[in-house]
């Protein structure tokens, strides 16, 4: 990887993938969006249109296809966890070349699946904190004042990942490198799980949750902090609570939006992952277990 323009694939150009693809294309990189026929046709015709208080409103011209057919420098995997298995057919390992694969999915289990599907050394762990929504094919609403990416950068890949991070920063994204992959993934999950479970359960933006259901929020944060520490990652319940008090009160989780739209949710990838880790390490998480059970029963109904 060099400082010259990159060729980047985006597998799943929804809210997150569309925002990243649009910013990279606007910064001069070649972006290839991989999606279903209708979405790919709309993006190839109209480009990616982003509306963001932080990045402004712009349209970026990109390429689009239903399957990757040539090597790329990097590939973002930004589909929902529920769609991952089917989506991987759009990006065959043989077509990837020597490019790195950067998954920005919720949860934990996708890392093992991707490292089985692609050469394990090319799969770079990643997380993103952002509120971005696809309102129509190729049309992205960025609602949060932040778009923060973390990338796993173990010593053997630090130079390559660091160079890629600089390209992303130049495009406008906030990027941090983390040497400890486990700590990085659990740092994201320890915030996301309470956010997703509580906003979805109460059908409310986070502002209402942190005021009307504050005791429940504190209980969930205490439980997830205990699980996070048990797996060997640092966690601080008071710091998490301070994070919840700082974010805009109008923010909704993607799980909540999925329920509102009648789409499958990532309940197992988020809440289920926490409960599996709690069970494996003998940590009690009754509030989280109740929320997952209530949401599962609601989905069944």
Q: 124-137 pLDDT, tens per residue?
A: 999 999 999 999 99
The whole-angstrom separation of Cα 278 and Cα 184 is 18
- Whether the per-residue pLDDT at 185 is higher than 70: the answer is yes
> How confident is the model at residue 155, as a pLDDT?
76
Q: Predicted confidence band at 3 (pLDDT cuts at 50, 70, 90)?
A: low
109-112 long-range Cβ contacts below 8 angstroms, 24+ apart: 109/81, 109/269, 109/273, 110/77, 110/81, 110/84, 110/269, 111/185
Q: Where are the domains of the chain?
A: 7-179, 183-300
Q: Do domains 7-179 and 183-300 have the same CATH topology?
A: no
- Whether the per-residue pLDDT at 301 is higher than 90: the answer is no
The CATH architecture one would assign to domain 183-300 is: Orthogonal Bundle (1.10)
- Whether the per-residue pLDDT at 1 is higher than 60: the answer is no
Q: Predicted confidence band at 12 (pLDDT cuts at 50, 70, 90)?
A: very high
* pLDDT per residue as tens digits for the range 199-210: 999 999 999 999
Contact 233, 186 (CB under 8 A): yes
**Prediction pTM value:** 0.91
Fold of the domain spanning 7-179: Rossmann fold (3.40.50)
* pLDDT, averaged across the chain: 95
């Amino acid at each position: 990887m060099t400082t010259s323009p990159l060729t980047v694939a985006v597998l799943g150009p929804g809210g997150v993938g569309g925002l990243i693809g649009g910013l990279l294309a606007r910064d001069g990189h070649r972006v290839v969006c991989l999606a279903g026929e209708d979405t790919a046709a709309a993006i190839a015709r109209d480009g990616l249109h982003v509306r963001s208080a932080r990045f402004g409103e712009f349209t970026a011209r990109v390429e689009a296809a239903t399957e990757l057919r040539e090597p790329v420098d990097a590939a973002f995997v930004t589909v929902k966890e529920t769609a991952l298995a089917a989506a991987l057919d759009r990006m065959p390992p043989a077509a990837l070349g020597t490019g790195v694969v950067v998954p920005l999915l919720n949860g934990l289990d996708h890392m093992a699946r991707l490292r089985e599907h692609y050469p394990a050394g090319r799969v770079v762990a990643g997380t993103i904190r952002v509120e971005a929504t696809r309102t129509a094919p190729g049309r992205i609403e960025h609602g949060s004042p932040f778009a923060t990416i973390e990338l796993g950068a173990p010593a053997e890949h630090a130079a390559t990942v660091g160079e890629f991070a600089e390209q992303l920063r130049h495009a406008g994204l906030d990027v941090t490198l983390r040497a400890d992959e486990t700590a990085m993934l659990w740092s994201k999950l320890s915030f996301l799980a309470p956010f997703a479970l509580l906003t979805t359960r109460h059908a409310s933006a986070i502002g209402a949750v942190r005021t009307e259901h504050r005791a429940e929020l504190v209980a969930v944060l205490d439980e997830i902090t205990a699980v996070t520490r048990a797996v060997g990652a640092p966690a601080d319940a008071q710091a998490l609570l301070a994070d919840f008090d700082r974010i805009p009160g109008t923010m909704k989780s993607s799980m909540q939006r999925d329920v509102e739209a009648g789409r499958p949710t990532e309940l197992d990838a988020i809440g289920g992952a926490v409960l599996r880790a709690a069970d494996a390490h003998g940590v009690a998480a009754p509030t989280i277990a109740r929320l997952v059970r209530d949401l599962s029963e609601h989905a069944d109904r």
